[in-house]
Amino acid sequence: MDNALWAFGRMSGVVSLVLFSVAVILGILNRSGRPLFAIPRFSMTLLHRNVSLLATVFLVFHIVALMLDSYAKLNVIDVFVPFLGGFKPFWQGLGTVAFDLVLAVVATGLLRHRLGQRSFRAIHWLSYAMWPIALGHAIGNGTDGTSKWFVVLAAGSLAAVGAAVAWRLSANFLETAKARQGGLS
């Protein structure tokens, strides 16, 4: 049972990270206003939301498994307050920071209509901080963090998210960019 919790705790963390990478990329894709292949824009929005929530579910699995595991012995304080852990406190603390940011982003995302656009957007931007912090936690704290397969996975995720962010910052990012720059013909 203990080995199972340990293995599950590690793998759910990896799954969560991959899903968060997809969620960030989908969020950027949404923001461009473009449909993806045959998927309409409203479906992209729902996909972004659902992948993000799924990533959060796996993050909760990751945390709960390592709280129950007799080797990791994560306690409630370490889950919410960063940098106090017994083992690699800095790298574990990054995970805690990322989790706190996820909680803020998810809660404000679900309450968007009540909070209003301005507060929602300000908090939602924290996602851009959350993702690299989570990646740092995975590499620095993970038992597999520096093993070859994980480094390849991390590099691939970094390249994909990095490319999406670079595209986000480019002049023709918006679907309507050309028209709004006066490029109607």
Q: Which stretches of the chain bind other proteins, using CB under 8 A?
A: 30-31, 33, 35, 40-42, 45-46, 112-113, 116-117, 175-176, 179-180, 184
Closest C-alpha among 127, 112, 121, 137 to residue 164: 127
d(CA 38, CA 65): 38
SS3 letters for 128-182?
HHHHHHHHHHHHHHCCCCCCHHHHHHHHHHHHHHHHHHHHHCCCCCCCCHHHHCC
CB of 15 to other proteins, least distance (A): 27
Closer by beta carbon to other proteins, 2 or else 175? 175
C-alpha distances out from residue 28 to 102, 144, 161, 173, Å: 17, 29, 9, 10
CB of 104 to other proteins, least distance (A): 19
CB of 35 to other proteins, least distance (A): 8
Closer by beta carbon to other proteins, 40 or else 86? 40
The dihedral built from the CA positions of residue 139, 140, 142 and 144, taken in this order, carries a sign that is: positive
Closer by beta carbon to other proteins, 112 or else 168? 112
CB of 32 to other proteins, least distance (A): 9
In angstroms and rounded to an integer, the radius of gyration of the C-alpha atoms of the chain is 18
Closer by beta carbon to other proteins, 113 or else 148? 113
Closer by beta carbon to other proteins, 169 or else 184? 184
Spatial contact of 9 and 65, defined as CB atoms under 8 Å apart: yes
CB of 46 to other proteins, least distance (A): 7
